[in-house]
Amino acid sequence: MQFDFARQLCRPIQTSRLLLTPLMGSHADAAFGPMQDDAIYEWISMNKPRTVESLRANWTRLESRLSIDGDNAWPVWAIMTRSDGALVGEVDADVDDKLVCTNLGYYLFPDFWGQGYATEAVSAIADHLVHQGIHRLVATVTVGNHASAKVLKKAGFSFTCILSDNDTLRGEPVDDEEYVRTV
C-alpha cells in the first residue's frame, strides 16, 4: 500500500454538522476522559485506555495511516462538531490493496448518542471511500447491537450474514452481523 494513497484516504471531510479530521495523537487529551465511560465498551472489543499517554502514543502511531506491515491503509478520523469543535468519537477503516475496506468501525462518546452523528459520520466516510475507488466496504456489529446495525443500514450497508464467534467481549466469544456496501 502506498503511503500517499493511505494519506489521501484520510483527508478531512465536512458534513452539515461534523468535521472529520485525521485522528492525531493530540486528540488523546480530549478523548481520554470520555473513553473511560463503560457504556462505550458494551458492544465493542476495544479496551479502555489506561493512561492519556498510552492513548496518545497509540494514536500517534496511527498517524502513518498504514498497517504495521505496510500492506493496508488505516485511515482514522476524529469526529468533531462543526459548531464548537467538541470531539464526538472516531471512525476507522482498514483498506487492502484490492481496494476493499475489510473493516469499517466507529464509536461515539455516550454524550453524543441518539443525535444522528454516527449515521452522518459513517455515511460521509463510506461515500468518501467509494469516491476514492473503494468498491466494497464491510462492517460488523455484535449481534444485538441494534443501534449500530441501524446506522449501517442508513449509510447504505446491507446485512449479509452472521459470523459465529467472530469477536470477543469481556472474554466471551460473540457472534457478529456482517454488513456490506458495494458499488
149: domain CATH number is 3.40.630.30
Stated as kind and residue range, the H or E segment containing 111 is none
Q: Encode pLDDT of 117-136 as tens digits.
A: 999 999 999 999 999 999 99
CA nearest to 139, candidates 70, 67, 43? 43
The Cα 41–Cα 1 span in angstroms is 31
Domain that holds residue 14: 3-182
The Cα 71–Cα 40 span in angstroms is 29
The whole-number pLDDT of residue 2 equals 73
Strand 136-142 and strand 100-108: the pairing is parallel
The DSSP symbol for 81 reads E
For residue 21, CA distances in Å to 9, 24, 51, 173 come to 11, 9, 23, 33
The percent of the chain in helix, strand and coil, each rounded to the nearest 5, is 35, 35, 30
Domains in the chain: how many in total?
Answer: 1
The DSSP symbol for 39 reads G
The Cα 10–Cα 43 span in angstroms is 25
Q: Encode pLDDT of 1-39 as tens digits.
A: 576 888 889 999 999 999 999 999 999 999 999 999 999
The whole-number pLDDT of residue 3 equals 65
Q: What is the pTM of this model?
A: 0.94
The whole-number pLDDT of residue 125 equals 98
The Cα 158–Cα 178 span in angstroms is 8
